[in-house]
Amino acid sequence: LFTRVPPIKKLFTKSSELWQAMQDRNDLLKDYLDQMDSAEVDVVLCPGQLLPAPPTGVMGDLMIPGIIPYIPWNLFNFPAGIAPVTRWSQDDADNMRHYPTSDLFERMIANTCDQGALGMPLSVQVVARPFRDEQVLKVLTELDEK
């Protein structure tokens, strides 16, 4: 298997197609915000990255798996920030023996975690609704104080 990461579905060649895609995005955003309202969610915590900080010069090779956690928030224009919360440990390294490697991106992540990741920071991403940057900063401050 090459990868499970979905391909780009469409390249826009007409402005009408782009406008329709923007409307589809706005509909998706409204639905997402409605779900956040019904669940009474103000801030989302999620992985800052899919792997520990990579060695110097490696991130270009990991572009797609490295940015996957950011794509939805960039698409929706949600404010977000990242803070280190722990470090890659020997237990993490040992557990990588059980990490799946059936597709290209899984193998890239597994190989990167095997290249000097011990002691590298692991982070959390804090995400809020549009124009609620202060909520992101408040949670990041609280994480920094701990």
Q: For residue 84, which of 121, 44, 127 has the smallest C-alpha distance?
A: 121
C-alpha to C-alpha distances, 103 to 42, 99, 110, 114, 130, nearest whole angstrom: 35, 11, 11, 17, 35
Neighbouring CB atoms inside 10 A of 81's CB total: 18
pLDDT at 70: 73
- Here the tokens at position 25 are 């995005």
The pLDDT confidence band at residue 5, using thresholds 50, 70 and 90, is low
pLDDT per position as a tens digit, 32-54: 999 999 999 999 999 888 777 77
Greatest Cα pair distance in the chain = 53
pLDDT per position as a tens digit, 19-32: 999 999 999 999 99
**pLDDT (average), residues 62-78:** 74
Residue at 54: amino acid letter: P
Q: For residue 32, which of 133, 137, 134, 129 has the smallest C-alpha distance?
A: 129
pLDDT per position as a tens digit, 81-109: 999 999 989 999 898 888 888 887 788 77
pLDDT at 35: 96
